[in-house]
Amino acid sequence: MTRQISPAKAIEGTISVPGDKSIAHRAALLSLLAEGPITVINFPESADCQTSLRAAQQLGVEVETFSDRLVLRPPDEFSLPPDTVVDCGNSGTTARLLSGIIAGSEAEVTLSGDESLQRRPMKRIIDPLTRMGAEIFAEHNRLPMRIRGARLLPFEYRLPVASAQVKSAILLAGLASGCTTVVREDQVTRDHTELMLQELGEGLEVRHIKPVLVDDPVDPRKRRMEMPEPFKKEVTLSGQARLLGGLVDIPGDISSAAFFFAAAAISGGKVTVENCGLNPTRTGFLDYLKACGCNVKIEDRATVSGEPRGRVSVTGGKLKPRKIQGETTVALIDEIPIVSVIAAYTQGTTIIRDAAELKVKESDRLAAVAQNLDRMGIKCGILDDGLAIEGRIELSGADFRSFGDHRIAMAFAVAALGAVGPSTIDDDTIVDISCPGFFDLLDGIRSE
């Protein structure tokens, strides 16, 4: 449904956003492997997370719903008919994490999904899971994908690309099969899977590789910092690892909060989000806002269920362009569409590199951002792995396309708040994929 959005005179307010998608996916799917029930507080109503919950139910998890929590009871055994088909909807996380669980379960399951998900690449999980011993059949390495699980072999893998989903798929395959599994990362990615496995079970160890001071081989009078290993992190799952069950209290999703913080950034206003997740692998957007000239204040810090959280306030300031590349891009990968909107409202040129992965998300997010910014009168060049955005202070309202992508729709709904003249979004229902109630929350922080 098309929605019209008028410019906001001011942005200010305090809100709570839905529970973190990444954590919710893992809580739902890990219940398949638990020895006891998992109780989940603040499980979001987002379509993607509900897809994972339905998948878990289809494969045997019993779900009890209470007013303030879910109780997920694992199946007695993981035994399924070979013609079982699980619909993963639009959720790449569901498909990739579930692939690992099935690969190590000795079951045979076909994973399918909607048209968008069927275009997304799965080779990055097919290769390691096949090497572990699973049989996977997928035409052109895309869904639908039939997985025949097996008793997997002990496995060591160094991620060729930074991907928390690939890391998680391998670890869950090892847990399902009871085989020792080691994953090494050159760039540190989201660690929600590791934290949940440690919080609810036993048998997982994480080693962070830190630089050490060594003698300079050229000049022995000098010393320099050097990495003792060619990677930055090593996760080891024992063959005797167990997932016992317990409590998962999900904080607010910082990736959803980012859109409301961005509204403060482009308007000079102030937005506060209560109980906002502050996992260090997810706070790159807050670092970006500070580097751009915004004020970021964090209060009431706490760690619950292994996940840090707090009350986060962002106040907009005079925005400055910043180049985004390498590990910064990895930390901001889900936020690149809204970062691009902030860049459009920033005088000067913002360069975003190392973001080629965005071409194969729910949409080609690089092309989608460029097309919508062009409608606002912004020059935006598409690079082979990113964008070059020439920002300015005054942008025109426009008729935006969502491209069937929730993050594009939300990013340009925020862009419309600071524009001159009204704007429209061609599909406002797509935001339910990740943030149901998004437009109500947006209305709650704006005044006209």
Cα–Cα dist 388/353, whole Å: 9
Rounded Cα gap, residues 200 and 34, in angstroms: 9
Using DSSP's 3-state secondary structure scheme, residue 305 falls into: coil
- Contact call for residues 277 and 252 (beta carbons, < 8 A): yes
DSSP state, residue 252? B
Catalytic residue among 20, 334, 364, 405: 334
Terminal C-alpha separation, the chain: 23
What tokens appear for 205 in the block?
């160890």
Distances (CA, A) of 401 to 16, 119, 149, 375, 440: 27, 19, 41, 10, 20
Closest by CA position to 73, among listed 20, 26, 28: 28
Q: Which pairing describes strands 399-400 and 423-425: parallel, antiparallel, or unpaired?
A: parallel
Q: 285 vs 18, 31, 271, 337, CA distance in Å?
A: 18, 30, 15, 12
| Tokens describing residue 117 | 């998900």
Backbone angles phi, psi at 66, to 5 degrees: -120, 175
φ and ψ at residue 259, rounded to 5 degrees: -65, -35
127 assigned to active site? no
CB within 8 Å of 265: residues ≥ 6 apart? 289, 292, 294, 314, 316, 317, 319, 342, 345
Query: Would you give the distance in Å from CA 272 to the centre of its chain?
Result: 21
Residues 6+ apart with CB under 8 A from 81: none
Mind telling me the catalytic residues? 334
